[in-house]
């Protein structure tokens, strides 16, 4: 059974993301190990329908796995320090980025000009709730989020029905 | 003396912009005639460090004047339907306020890791979609970049707010 995490938003709403351990095994392991995570997410200003945070402390550099340039709704991604200058700096500080794609028009960007390919390592299935939260952050600004691991198998089975 | 406009924000702060009548005479005239305007303003999600509003009612056709693709902090711009046909709303013009420069980026307050911008970093470019770029008419200039960046950071962090653009007599 895939590992999952629960994401709770300050202004309401919860999402569950399922790790893509087959496609991004190292990144999934790094993020799983980093949980629980408290961060502030904000809407992007160059990448379209995406919310993100750069405040994720990780124990090792993010590899380039399951690389995607134009994200799909529900994609949960991070970006290797090899992709753009700021991410290299972030990696050197032991941090990384985390992005949620919530709408159909999105591409991963390093700056307003430099493009990225992101490591998509998890997926969110409740797209209606994800879009509602994404649009809320677009209009009303940043929010604190808490991410915790889901380890209860009975709860997982219920969710998968 | 050059004409000036003032931009007041719902949650506080006032900016003064000088119209660039020599570089963009028709655009300045159309915008001047449209004032005062009260609307909502928001940070763009495709163009970088830039606030925008799509609903400035204008009475004539916007030409292409003083065209720029990359905005600089303090630039006040609009986009002619010639550059922006898919996004144009009949009877309305968009307004864009570019903030920056890099050293005053509001990102510095948000992230635990301060961003060290380098020469590669482009803070803003005018775009009409996520993929397509466009050029804008720069028709006014804001000199008080410190106040502009404070207001821009607030809108970027906390979301949309009301604003009013009026003639400064």
pLDDT score for A160: 44
Q: Find the residue in B nearest to A107 (Cα).
A: B130
> What distance in Å separates the CA atoms of residue B151 and residue B9, rounded to the nearest whole number?
8
Residue A68 near residue A40, CB atoms below 8 Å = no
Mean pLDDT of B107-112: 55
Total CB pairs under 8 A between chain A and B: 82
Q: Does residue A140 sit at the B interface (CB-CB below 8 Å)?
A: yes
The H or E element that residue A100 is part of is strand A95-106
Task: Tell me the nearest-neighbour CA distance from B126 into chain A, angstroms.
Answer: 10
- Looking up tokens 């790094």 gives A30
- Domains, chain B, ordered by start: 4-168 (2.40.100.20)
Task: Tell me the nearest-neighbour CA distance from B120 into chain A, angstroms.
Answer: 8
pLDDT per residue over B8-20, tens digit each? 999 999 999 999 9
- Looking up tokens 């402390």 gives A57
Instruction: List the one residue out of B7, B9, B27 whose CA is nearest residue B19.
Output: B27
- Contact call for B157 and A42, based on CB within 8 A: yes
Mean pLDDT of A46-51: 96
CATH number of this structure's domain A4-152: 2.40.100.20
DSSP state of B11: T
Mean pLDDT of chain B: 90
Q: Does residue B46 sit at the A interface (CB-CB below 8 Å)?
A: yes
Higher-pLDDT residue of B169 and B158 is B158
- Contact call for B130 and A106, based on CB within 8 A: yes
Mean pLDDT of B104-120: 58
- Contact call for A54 and B48, based on CB within 8 A: no
CA A37 remoteness from chain centre: 12
CB-nearest to A142 from B42, B129, B157 is: B157
pLDDT score for B52: 97
pLDDT score for B88: 86
Phi and psi torsions of B25, nearest 5°: -65, -45
With contacts defined as CB-CB under 8 Å, which chain A residues touch B42?
138-139
Most confident segment among B6-10, B45-49, B165-169? B6-10
Q: Does residue A106 sit at the B interface (CB-CB below 8 Å)?
A: yes
Mean pLDDT of B100-125: 64
Domain ranges within chain A, ordered by starting residue: 4-152
**Helix or strand or coil: residue B114?**
coil
Interface with A, mutate which of B130, B131, B133 (most A CBs under 10 A)? B130
pLDDT score for B92: 95
By percentage, how much of chain B surpasses pLDDT 70? 88
pLDDT per residue over A55-69, tens digit each? 899 999 999 999 999
pLDDT band at B117 (very low <50, low <70, confident <90, very high): low
pLDDT score for A153: 60
pLDDT score for B111: 59
pLDDT band at B105 (very low <50, low <70, confident <90, very high): very low
> What distance in Å separates the CA atoms of residue B119 and residue B94, rounded to the nearest whole number?
29
pLDDT score for A110: 86
- Contact call for A141 and B113, based on CB within 8 A: no
Least confident of A75-79, A156-160, B65-69: A156-160
> What distance in Å separates the CA atoms of residue B144 and residue A125, rounded to the nearest whole number?
46
Task: Tell me the nearest-neighbour CA distance from A157 into chain B, angstroms.
Answer: 37
The interface predicted TM-score of the complex, written ipTM, equals 0.88
Residues 34-53 of chain A with CB under 8 A from chain B are 40, 42-50
pLDDT for A119 beyond 70: yes
Residue B17 near residue B140, CB atoms below 8 Å = yes
pLDDT for A140 beyond 80: yes
pLDDT score for A150: 95
pLDDT for A32 beyond 70: yes
Cα B130–B76–A49 angle (5° rounding)?
20
Q: Burial of B34 by CB count in 10 Å (0-12 exposed, 13-18 middle, 19+ buried)?
A: middle
pLDDT score for B115: 63
Alpha-helix residue ranges (DSSP H) falling in B67-144: 81-84, 107-110
């Amino acid at each position: 059974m895939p590992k999952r995490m629960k994401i709770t938003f300050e202004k309401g709403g919860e999402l569950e993301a399922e790790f893509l351990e087959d496609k991004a095994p190292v990144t999934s392991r790094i993020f799983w190990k980093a949980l629980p995570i408290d961060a502030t997410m904000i809407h992007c200003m160059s990448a379209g329908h995406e919310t993100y945070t750069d405040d994720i402390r990780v124990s090792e550099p993010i590899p380039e796995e399951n690389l995607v340039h134009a994200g799909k709704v529900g994609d949960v991604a991070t970006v290797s320090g090899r992709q753009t200058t700021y991410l290299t700096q972030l990696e050197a500080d032991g941090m990384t980025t985390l992005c949620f794609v919530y709408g159909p028009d999105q591409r991963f960007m390093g700056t307003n000009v430099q493009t990225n390919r992101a490591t998509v390592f998890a997926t969110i299935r409740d797209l209606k709730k994800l879009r509602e939260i994404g649009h809320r952050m677009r209009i009303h600004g940043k929010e604190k989020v808490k991410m915790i691991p889901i380890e209860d198998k009975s709860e997982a089975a219920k969710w998968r029905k | 003396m050059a004409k000036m406009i003032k931009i007041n924000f719902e949650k506080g702060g006032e900016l003064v912009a000088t119209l660039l009548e020599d570089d963009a005479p028709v655009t300045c005239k159309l915008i001047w005639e449209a004032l005062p305007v009260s609307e909502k303003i928001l940070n763009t999600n495709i163009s970088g460090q830039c606030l925008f509003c799509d609903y400035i009612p204008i009475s004539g056709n916007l030409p292409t004047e003083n065209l720029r693709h990359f905005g600089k902090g303090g630039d006040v711009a609009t986009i002619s339907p010639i550059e922006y046909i898919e996004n144009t709303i009949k009877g309305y013009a968009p307004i864009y306020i570019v903030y920056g420069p890099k050293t005053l980026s509001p990102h510095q307050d948000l992230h635990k890791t301060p961003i060290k911008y380098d020469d590669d970093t482009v803070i803003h470019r005018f775009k009409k979609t996520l993929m397509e770029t466009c050029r804008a008419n720069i028709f006014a200039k804001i000199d008080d970049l410190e106040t502009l960046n404070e207001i821009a950071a607030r809108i970027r962090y906390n979301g949309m707010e009301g604003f009013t653009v009026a003639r400064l007599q």
